């Protein structure tokens, strides 16, 4: 049976293990209300909508509300 003469280096081992590993690209959708890029299953960071409903308030809207109260 063949026996290696020297231990493989960390770099060589890592390169061999990662040779067939493919990184997947992140799928990015479009928000139906404001048409900004959104990750799937996440609320829109620009307008705060998810599945057609507002689920979180965005700082700009809160600033506008405070300015209108004064």
- Listed by start position, the domains of the chain span 26-69
Confidence (pLDDT) at 3: 92
pLDDT at 66 over 90: no
Confidence (pLDDT) at 30: 92
Residue 57: name the closest of 47, 66, 65 by CA: 47
Q: How far apart are the first and last CA of the chain?
A: 85
pTM: 0.50
- What is the band of 7 on the pLDDT scale with cuts at 50, 70, 90? very high
Percent of the chain residues past pLDDT 90, beyond the cut? 41
Rounded average pLDDT over 43-62: 80
């Amino acid at each position: 049976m063949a026996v290696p003469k020297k231990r493989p280096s960390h770099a060589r081992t890592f390169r061999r293990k990662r040779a067939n590993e493919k990184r997947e690209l992140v799928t990015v959708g479009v928000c139906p209300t404001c048409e900004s890029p959104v990750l799937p299953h996440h609320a829109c960071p620009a307008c705060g909508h998810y599945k057609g409903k507002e689920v979180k308030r965005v700082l700009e809207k809160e600033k506008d509300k405070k300015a209108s109260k004064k």
